């Protein structure tokens, strides 16, 4: 099988994968409301077989397993070995039996044809080298009439949790170049017209792309928010690799900026995503 998405596999199987695991509970707190909204739209039913693409540490996979019940099943799929190792342990500790984890890439994984009722993803489908090929391949695994639901990031300028933090960090860290529009990365699908085109070309029907925007807490205090967001997004690995004086400058600058986002709940920032659904003909 031809190797694909090599940059992403390298990225998620080394420092980024381990860092993601270490931040898992805080990431779930931040992304949870958006993933839960997509789960509501998917509306899993008892006895269904569901695939969770880019399952991460298994938070959404475990929720899916509970929703489909013992007669249903969930496959959690991810390209990161360290993240999946944590996911497996997470399922074991929660005594979840109707779940299986696969170290695999959805773009070219050989899905068992016409076997699954639904496919879900929380921010796990924006990193394909060839998104049309990937969504076409995913389609093969679904039964006729099967459904897809996922959440992905919308306009990056409406996501100040990452945009503001990245702009500040760029004054002190050598960050990777900002991905061009439509390139693999968190904001690959920020253009809904392009996203719709990808799904149409991949063979999906009844496509719906709805905006879901919320404010959410990124830290109970300014210090907590700065510590967390300095290790998220494109600045995560450069920050971890930096000397302590540089880290201090990044944190100090983030703390000063986050004063403007303090509410009675904590440091509250904006999130904007697309909730996407589609069906197999």
96 is a domain residue: yes
274 is a domain residue: yes
Q: Quick one: pLDDT band at residue 17, thresholds 50, 70, 90? A: confident
Higher pLDDT residue, 244 or 17? 244
Phi, psi of 19 (to 5 degrees): -65, -40
Query: Which residue bears the tokens 């009722």?
Result: 117
Q: Which of helix, strand or coil describes residue 210? A: strand
Torsion over CA: 236, 126, 35, 193 (sign): positive
Number of domains in the chain: 1
d(CA 178, CA 256): 24
Confidence (pLDDT) at 3: 64
65 is a domain residue: yes
Please write the tens of the pLDDT for every residue from 198-210.
999 999 999 999 9
pLDDT at residue 2 is higher than 70: no
Quick one: average pLDDT of 123-132? 96
Q: Quick one: pLDDT band at residue 115, thresholds 50, 70, 90? A: very high
Q: Quick one: pLDDT band at residue 109, thresholds 50, 70, 90? A: very high
Please write the tens of the pLDDT for every residue from 180-194.
889 999 999 999 999
Confidence (pLDDT) at 197: 98
CATH of the domain at 252: 3.40.50.150
pLDDT at residue 87 is higher than 90: yes
For strand 99-103 and strand 266-279, is the pairing parallel, antiparallel, or unpaired?
Answer: unpaired
Query: Which residue bears the tokens 């879900």?
Result: 120
Give the single-character DSSP code of 72. Answer: S
d(CA 198, CA 193): 9
Residue-range definition of the domain harbouring residue 53:
6-279
d(CA 223, CA 229): 10
d(CA 249, CA 84): 34
Q: Quick one: pLDDT band at residue 179, thresholds 50, 70, 90? A: confident
| Cβ-based neighbours of 259, under 8 Å, separated by 6 or more | 222
- Alpha-carbon torsion, ordered 95, 26, 104, 186, to 10 deg: 150
List the Cα angle 81/271/277 in 5-degree steps.
70
Phi, psi of 26 (to 5 degrees): -75, -35
pLDDT at residue 88 is higher than 50: yes
155 is a domain residue: yes
Q: Quick one: pLDDT band at residue 94, thresholds 50, 70, 90? A: very high
217 is a domain residue: yes
Q: How does DSSP assign 147-165, residue by residue?
A: EEEEEEE--GGG-HHHHHH
pLDDT at residue 139 is higher than 90: yes
1 is a domain residue: no
Among 275, 233, 265, smallest CA distance to 27 is for: 233
Confidence (pLDDT) at 131: 97
Q: Quick one: pLDDT band at residue 1, thresholds 50, 70, 90? A: very low
């Amino acid at each position: 099988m031809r190797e694909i998405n090599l940059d992403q596999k390298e990225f998620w199987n080394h420092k980024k994968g381990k860092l993601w695991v270490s931040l898992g509970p805080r990431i779930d707190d931040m992304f949870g409301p958006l993933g839960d909204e997509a789960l509501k739209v998917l509306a899993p039913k008892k006895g269904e077989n569901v695939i969770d693409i880019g399952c991460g540490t298994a938070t959404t996979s475990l929720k899916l397993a509970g929703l489909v019940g013992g007669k249903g099943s969930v496959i959690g799929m991810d390209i990161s070995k360290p993240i999946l190792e944590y996911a497996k342990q997470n399922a074991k500790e929660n005594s979840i039996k109707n779940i299986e984890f696969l170290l695999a890439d959805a773009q070219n994984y050989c899905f068992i044809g016409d076997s699954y009722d639904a496919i879900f993803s929380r921010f796990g489908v924006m990193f394909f080298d060839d998104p049309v090929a990937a969504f076409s391949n995913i389609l093969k695994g679904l039964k006729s009439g099967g459904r897809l639901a996922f959440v992905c990031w919308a306009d990056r300028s409406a996501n100040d949790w990452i945009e503001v933090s990245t702009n500040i960090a760029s004054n002190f860290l050598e960050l990777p170049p900002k991905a061009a529009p439509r390139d693999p990365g968190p904001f690959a699908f920020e253009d809904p017209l392009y996203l719709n085109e990808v799904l149409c070309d991949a063979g999906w029907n009844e496509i719906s792309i709805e905006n879901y925007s919320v404010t959410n807490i990124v830290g109970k205090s300014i210090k907590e928010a700065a510590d967390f967001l300095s290790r998220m997004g494109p600045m995560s690995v450069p920050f971890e690799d930096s000397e302590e004086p540089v880290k201090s400058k990044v944190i100090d600058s983030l703390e000063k900026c986050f004063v403007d986002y303090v509410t009675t709940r904590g440091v509250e920032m904006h999130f904007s995503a697309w909730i996407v659904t589609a069906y197999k003909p």
